[in-house]
Structures are given as C-alpha cells and as structure tokens.
Amino acid sequence: MIRLSIIGSGNVAQHLVQAFSKSTEIELVQVFARKPETVSHLVPNQKIISDFSELKAVDLTIISVTDNAIASVSNQLVFENHLVAHTSGSISIDALDSKNRKGVFYPLQTFSKSKEIDFRTIPICIEAQQDADFQLLVNVAKAISNSVNSVGSNQRKALHVAAVFVSNFTNHMYQIGSEICKANSLPFDILKPLIQETANKILTLPPTEAQTGPAKRNDTQTINTHLNFLTDENQKEIYKMLTKSIIDNGKKL
Amino acid sequence: MIRLSIIGSGNVAQHLVQAFSKSTEIELVQVFARKPETVSHLVPNQKIISDFSELKAVDLTIISVTDNAIASVSNQLVFENHLVAHTSGSISIDALDSKNRKGVFYPLQTFSKSKEIDFRTIPICIEAQQDADFQLLVNVAKAISNSVNSVGSNQRKALHVAAVFVSNFTNHMYQIGSEICKANSLPFDILKPLIQETANKILTLPPTEAQTGPAKRNDTQTINTHLNFLTDENQKEIYKMLTKSIIDNGKKL
C-alpha cells in the first residue's frame, strides 16, 4: 500500500482524489484544501486539512496547485527528504524546493469539474531525480492509469505546448463553429458527428493524410466564397492564417 | 423502391455508392465514372458507365463531382424534368441546369477513401424547390441516415464554413501537435486520449464551458513560456492569434 497525500482542490486535484480513492493499491492519507468544502464531497472530513503544519510525511506528496504557487507551496512543507511531485505540464521539476526529493506526475488530459473521466486511459508523464522515486511514481501511476510514460522536463514542456494546439485551440475551433451555427439558426448538434469523426480519423491515419477541405485542395474559389461569407473580422483572420498554413504545409510534403 | 444513379467517383461518391448499395429501399441503377476502375470494386460492371448518353432518367440523379464541375455536368444530362441533386456544401442549388428539377443532398462529414464510415450517424442536409422532390430526398436520406435536416442554400454555406473550422482546421491543429511531438522525440499517440476527450466533452458541454488552458485563464506566464519554446514562426503566429481570440472571447462572455 502506497501512502500519499494531495495538496490542492482544483480540477486536476479533484480528479486525482477521485481516482486514488478508488484504487486498492493507494492509501489517500490527507487532502490539503484552503476551502475544505471544495473536496468534502470526495473524502472524509478528518482527512481534509487546511494548515500546512498538520501535513504528515508520506511516501508521496502531490502538489496540484496553479503553476505560480508550486514553488512556494513546496517551500512551506514542514517535512524533509520525502518525495514531493507536482502535476504541471509547463513547470520544471527544479521549481520544487530542494529540502525534499523531487518528482513530476503530469496527467495529460483536459479536466472539467462537471465532467467525469476514465483515468485509466489518461497518459501519466513521470519524472524523478532518483531511480527509486521514479519507480514509486510509476507504481502510483499504474494504480490509476494504463498509460505511464517517462517524460523529461523539456519534453513535458513540448507536450504541454502540443496539448494547447490539439485541445485548447481545437475547442476554440468548436466554439467558432457553434457561433457560426447560432448566427445562422442552425443547431450546433449538426456538427457533432463531423467533430467526432475528425477526432476518430487520426486514430488510424496520420493528420497529414486525414486532412481534407478547400485549403488542402488549394480550392481558391471556395476559400474566397468562405471569406466573403464571414463578417466577423477575427474569424476571417483565423480562416486566412490557417488556410495559408495548410496550403504551405502541403507544399512541404 | 427508389431508383437512383450517381455521377462521380470521388470520396463522397464512393461512400454514397457503398451506403446506397446496402439499402433495401434504394435501387442503385447506374454509376457514372470517367475512370470505371475507381468504382469497379463497389458496383457490378454493367452498372458503370462513362458516357452521358447512356445515363437513364431515374427518380433521382445525384451529381457528386468537384464544385467547379457541377454546373457543366448538370448541363450535359440528356433527360429533362427529372430530379437532379448535387452533394456540395458550398454551391447554391441554382448552379444546377434548369432543364431538370433541382435539389441538394449534402452529407455533412469528412470522407477519406481509406477509412470506412457509418453513414447512419451522418447528418444529411436536404434542399429542393418542390415539395414532392423534398419528400423524395428525405426518403432517400432516411434510407441511409438517422439525421435528415432541411437546410437552405445560405444556411448550407454557413454550415460548410463552420465545418472547415471544426474539421479541417481542427485536423491542422492535430498536425501541428504531431510535428511538435516529432521534433521532441515524443510519440503522437500520447496526445490521442486528449484529442478524443476534447471531442467528447462538447457532446455534453457547450464549447465555451469546455474551454480550458492558459489562454482561457489569461495565464501570461505560461503563454510566454510557450511562445519562447516555439521556434517555428508559423506555429508561433498561430499560437498568438488563437490565444488572443480565446482571451477576447472570454471578455465577451
């Protein structure tokens, strides 16, 4: 049984609390939350603390707070020489205070409070400075996920940037699609099978092969029809830039 | 039994041929293909023609060719006063020659030759100028799909533009994500669960609520870290523009 505690009560922290609570290989010892009510529906009250002095030294302390707070939280821990890991995609392992042994436990996924998620499919990206710590993080990750990956700090930064493109920016494309539907009295639902298939396609085809549409065909007539149709200047600029990028990409192949 | 023929042998035409071949309510009478070998694996040879003079008048003739060729193909038909529909998202119903009755049968989906697809989930967008023709197109659509929609020419154009955003541009985001992975010795596979979940989220959440990431949080520190990380000028410009668009969008809400 691995004993671990979680510091934080945001989206990632809450999903981790839920996942670890279900695992038979993990004992969730404490959850640190400034506002205990944010996690009181997930763990028994006696496990919730909001004072750093109450935090016990355990096998692994996971700091799952906003990027800016990681360094100062790691600095406020009252114990030393224990394994402490953060969950951020963009923060180096070095940001953690050196009085404890350092690690990273980064789940590569988009979390919304209101949406449940199957943790077993989520890639966990692991980093540590000592072999035994790395192995412990692997065991913790395996307890909740089928996809455990060794990813260094620089690779993790790359992955985080890539994640912004494939998830945050993609969702913004959905947002623009829904705005265009709304402005033309069309239900957004009509686009959903297309959205699903676009995501499914790249499970079997590389994105360059999956690419379709007027930009891919360099179909300037349709592109101009679309640009004339769009009245929102921001949408028009995004359309132009991404069309040019797809056309330029085609030339490189 | 509705008798119909298809003119064309591209992606959409091939998927339609496959879908109609399986339907018990449709008789696929002829397929016009300039290069018969492109469809010979899908229909018996005696049904494949490549001379317009051989084309029989049937209940519905579907023209599924490139946008630029729709008008001239409809003009070359040897019969008159029959229902003829095109399958394009961006071409008006008026582009069809007036010697026949006009319709549109637009399947809103991304088709790749090498990927099979379940037609029953694909929204079919229908337009016609006469009630009886509209009803026939509805019946044809219902024979292969569970989602049949009445969509006028201007709405269809809007839908096509929206489809470019949610599908073509989204796939380009996947492409950039895969490039970043490749440049950093990471397998693209590690991003796939994130891509799937991003697409699944909007089945239950509106895109504005599903939005996450540094731009949504206006987290300038992470945004700058990402911009410093990106060395490809094109990727950097896209990152800047879409980040600004998400931030501006947040201000509007």
Do B241 and B139 share a structural domain?
no
The pLDDT value given to residue A158 = 96
Mean pLDDT of A143-165: 96
What is the rounded CA–CA span in Å between residue B101 and residue B215? 50
Q: Which pair of tokens denotes residue B64?
A: 């599924």
Number of domain units in chain A: 2
The pLDDT value given to residue B56 = 97
Query: Which of A122, A151, A180 represents a domain boundary (last residue)?
Result: A151
What is the rounded CA–CA span in Å between residue A70 and residue A65? 6
Contact A223, A214 (CB under 8 A): yes
pLDDT tens-digit series, residues B63-72:
999 998 999 9
Do B113 and B31 share a structural domain?
yes
Handedness of CA A38, A44, A45, A49 (dihedral sign): negative
The pLDDT value given to residue A252 = 80
Nearest residue, CB atoms, A166 vs list B117, B195, B249: B195
Q: Which residues of A touch B208 (CB under 8 A)?
A: 175
Do A45 and A147 share a structural domain?
yes
Stated length of chain B: 253
Mean pLDDT of B152-175: 96
Q: What is the mean pLDDT of chain A?
A: 95
Burial of B53 (0-12, 13-18, 19+ CB in 10 A): exposed
What is the rounded CA–CA span in Å between residue B45 and residue B41? 9
Do A90 and A213 share a structural domain?
no
pLDDT tens-digit series, residues A37-60:
999 999 999 999 999 999 999 999
pLDDT at B97 over 80: yes
| Inter-chain residue contact B112 with A209, CB threshold 8 Å | yes
The answer to the question of residue B159 being in a domain is no
Domain containing residue B14: 2-151
Q: Which pair of tokens denotes residue A84?
A: 């402490």
Contact A97, A76 (CB under 8 A): no
Q: What is the mean pLDDT of chain B?
A: 95
What percent of chain A has a predicted confidence (pLDDT) above 90?
Answer: 90
| Inter-chain residue contact A165 with B173, CB threshold 8 Å | yes
Do B247 and B143 share a structural domain?
no
Query: Which of B122, B151, B180 represents a domain boundary (last residue)?
Result: B151
What is the rounded CA–CA span in Å between residue B214 and residue A169? 11
The pLDDT value given to residue A93 = 96
| Inter-chain residue contact A112 with B201, CB threshold 8 Å | yes
The pLDDT value given to residue A251 = 86
Q: What is the pTM of this model?
A: 0.91
The pLDDT value given to residue A32 = 98
Chain A CB within 8 Å of residue B150 CB: no
Q: How confident is the model at residue B104 (pLDDT cuts 50, 70, 90)?
A: very high
Q: Which ranges of chain B would DSSP assign to H, the alpha helix?
A: 11-22, 70-76, 131-144, 153-163, 170-183, 192-201, 207-210, 220-229, 233-252
- Please name the residue that has the structure tokens 């023929």: B5
Residue partners of B21: CB distance under 8 A and separation at least 6: B28, B42, B43
Do A23 and A141 share a structural domain?
yes
pLDDT tens-digit series, residues B164-209:
999 999 999 999 999 999 999 999 999 999 999 999 999 999 999 9
Mean pLDDT of A99-114: 90
- The amino acid present at A158, given as its one-letter code, is A
Do B110 and B12 share a structural domain?
yes
The pLDDT value given to residue B113 = 72
| Inter-chain residue contact A170 with B175, CB threshold 8 Å | no
Q: How confident is the model at residue A24 (pLDDT cuts 50, 70, 90)?
A: very high
Helices and strands, number each (H, E), in chain A: 9, 8
The answer to the question of residue B64 being in a domain is yes
pLDDT at B253 over 80: no
Do A135 and A28 share a structural domain?
yes
| Inter-chain residue contact B190 with A123, CB threshold 8 Å | yes
Q: Which of residues 77-136 of B touch A (CB under 8 A)?
A: 90, 108-112, 114-115, 117, 121-123, 125
Mean pLDDT of A225-235: 96
Do B141 and B35 share a structural domain?
yes
pLDDT tens-digit series, residues B40-81:
999 999 999 999 999 999 999 999 999 989 999 999 999 999
pLDDT at A129 over 90: yes
Nearest residue, CB atoms, B167 vs list A198, A203, A230: A198
ipTM beyond cut 0.85: yes
Which of B154, B166, B196 is best to mutate for the A interface (most A CBs within 10 A)? B166
Find the closest chain A residue to B233 by CA distance. Answer: A245
Q: Which residues pair with A32 in a beta bridge?
A: A7, A49
The pLDDT value given to residue B110 = 85
What is the rounded CA–CA span in Å between residue A96 and residue A99? 9
Do A126 and A63 share a structural domain?
yes
The pLDDT value given to residue A131 = 97
Do A103 and A9 share a structural domain?
yes
Q: Which residues pair with A3 in a beta bridge?
A: A27
The pLDDT value given to residue A111 = 81
Nearest residue, CB atoms, A198 vs list B110, B194, B248: B110
* B189 Cα to chain A: minimum distance (Å): 8
| Distances in whole angstroms, Cα of residue A128 to Cα of each of A58, A104, B17 | 17, 6, 55
Do A124 and A17 share a structural domain?
yes
Contact A241, B230 (CB under 8 A): no
- The CATH number of whichever domain residue B47 belongs to comes to 3.40.50.720
pLDDT at B112 over 80: no
The pLDDT value given to residue B187 = 96
Q: Which residues of B touch A215 (CB under 8 A)?
A: 164, 168, 172
Query: Which of A151, A174, A209 represents a domain boundary (last residue)?
Result: A151
What percent of chain A has a predicted confidence (pLDDT) above 70?
Answer: 99
The pLDDT value given to residue A162 = 98
